[in-house]
């Protein structure tokens, strides 16, 4: 049995869709906070049980019979995320899972200023001590490009702080590769990077966007403090604005620069490029 957490979220949900193409539904289970949101999966023969990382007993029940558990990292910055992940890892071990796969982050390394990096490193350390085989899927940045670049189609400029090279990746490609690993026979031990094959900067984006639209799209570097102030003016809580700013610091320090061929190998095709994704996002 393959048990997937976070299956009512973006990455976990798409992973289950890809698993259903590769594995009989009665070999797939999901552990979700709200089972009503997973009715579409129950209707297709997937075992649906309630489980939240705050509730070890529910987790153990929802992981029962697991051969592999995909632990999707939590997303509440106010929570003790490492403690919640520990609960989930302990429940997976107690359920007798042979392997735990965890959605970590590309560039997770000591010293990386991007806030979530530390909780991913700490979770990987718990996995390493768990006594069970584990895989950390260090997923590249996969946020929607509209969010990453801002309203460039309206303004004609990509106005963001100083950045650095990042292999921006399509979340659906990462989900498909995750399903391929879960359903396959090859074991991946420890951390592996799932990234698009090429790292690009906002300068590259401006060039690609200019080619796609036939307009001149400028890249404008926004002052760091002005960027944070603008997010606050847009209504972001200060903690979130400061957290997101650390992402630029990490990018410009090169923590996300390294791309890996593994995603391409797993998919057996080229992952979607940023040009493909920008073209799909163009206003009609």
Ligand X SMILES: NC(=O)c1ccc[n+]([C@@H]2O[C@H](COP(=O)([O-])OP(=O)(O)OC[C@H]3O[C@@H](n4cnc5c(N)ncnc54)[C@H](OP(=O)(O)O)[C@@H]3O)[C@@H](O)[C@H]2O)c1
Residue 72 sits in the site that holds ligand X (CB under 6 A): yes
- Smallest separation (angstroms) from ligand X to the CB of 87: 9
Q: Which of 143, 144, 146, 184 binds ligand X (CB under 6 A)?
A: 143
Q: Which stretch binds ligand X (CB under 6 A): 22-30, 135-143, 158-166, 262-270?
A: 135-143
Ramachandran bin of 144, using left for φ above 0, alpha for ψ from -120 to 50, beta for the remaining angles:
beta
Residue 11 sits in the site that holds ligand X (CB under 6 A): yes
Residue 9 sits in the site that holds ligand X (CB under 6 A): yes
Residue 75 sits in the site that holds ligand X (CB under 6 A): yes
Is 107 in contact with 255 (CB distance < 8 Å)?
A: yes
Neighbours of 104 (CB within 10 A): 26
Residue 117 sits in the site that holds ligand X (CB under 6 A): no
Site for ligand X in 82-101 (CB under 6 A): 84
Q: Indicate the helix (H) or strand (E) that contains 252.
A: helix 238-252
- Smallest separation (angstroms) from ligand X to the CB of 177: 13
Which own/partner contact pairs does 58-64 have at CB distance under 8 Å and 24+ positions apart?
A: 59/31, 59/87, 59/88, 59/91, 59/92, 60/91, 60/94, 60/95, 62/3, 62/29, 62/31, 63/3, 63/31, 63/91, 63/92, 63/94, 63/95, 63/97, 64/95
Is 147 in contact with 131 (CB distance < 8 Å)?
A: no
Residue 104 sits in the site that holds ligand X (CB under 6 A): no
- What is the x/- site pattern for ligand X, positions 166-205, by CB under 6 A? -----x----------------------------------
Residue 8 sits in the site that holds ligand X (CB under 6 A): yes
Binding site for ligand X (CB under 6 A): 5-6, 8-12, 33-34, 52-54, 72-76, 84, 103, 105, 139, 141-143, 171
């Amino acid at each position: 049995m393959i048990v997937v957490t976070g299956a009512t979220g973006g990455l976990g949900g798409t992973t289950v869709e890809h698993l259903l193409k590769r594995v009989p539904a009665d070999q797939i289970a999901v552990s979700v906070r709200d089972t009503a949101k997973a009715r579409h999966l129950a209707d297709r023969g997937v075992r649906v049980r309630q489980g939240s990382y705050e509730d070890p007993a529910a987790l153990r029940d929802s992981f029962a019979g697991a051969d592999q558990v995909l632990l999707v990292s939590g997303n509440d910055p106010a929570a003790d995320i490492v403690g919640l992940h520990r609960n989930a890892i302990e429940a997976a071990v107690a359920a007798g899972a042979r392997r735990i796969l965890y959605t970590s982050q590309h560039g997770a390394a000591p010293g990386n200023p991007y806030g979530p990096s530390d909780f991913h490193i700490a979770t990987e350390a718990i996995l390493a001590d768990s006594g069970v085989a584990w895989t950390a899927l260090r997923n590249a940045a996969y946020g929607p490009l509209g969010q990453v670049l801002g309203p460039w189609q309206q303004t004609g400029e990509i106005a963001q702080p100083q950045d650095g090279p990042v292999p921006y990746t399509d979340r659906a490609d990462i989900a498909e590769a995750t399903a391929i690993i879960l359903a396959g026979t090859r074991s991946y031990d420890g951390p592996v990077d799932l990234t698009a094959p090429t790292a690009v900067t906002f300068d590259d984006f401006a060039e690609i966007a200019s080619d796609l639209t036939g307009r001149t799209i400028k890249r404008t570097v926004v002052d760091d403090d002005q960027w944070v102030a603008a997010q606050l003016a847009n209504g972001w809580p200060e903690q979130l604005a400061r957290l997101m700013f650390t992402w630029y610091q990490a990018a410009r320090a090169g923590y996300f620069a390294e791309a890996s061929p593994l995603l391409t190998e797993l998919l057996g095709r080229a992952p979607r490029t940023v040009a493909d994704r920008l073209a799909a996002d163009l206003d009609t």
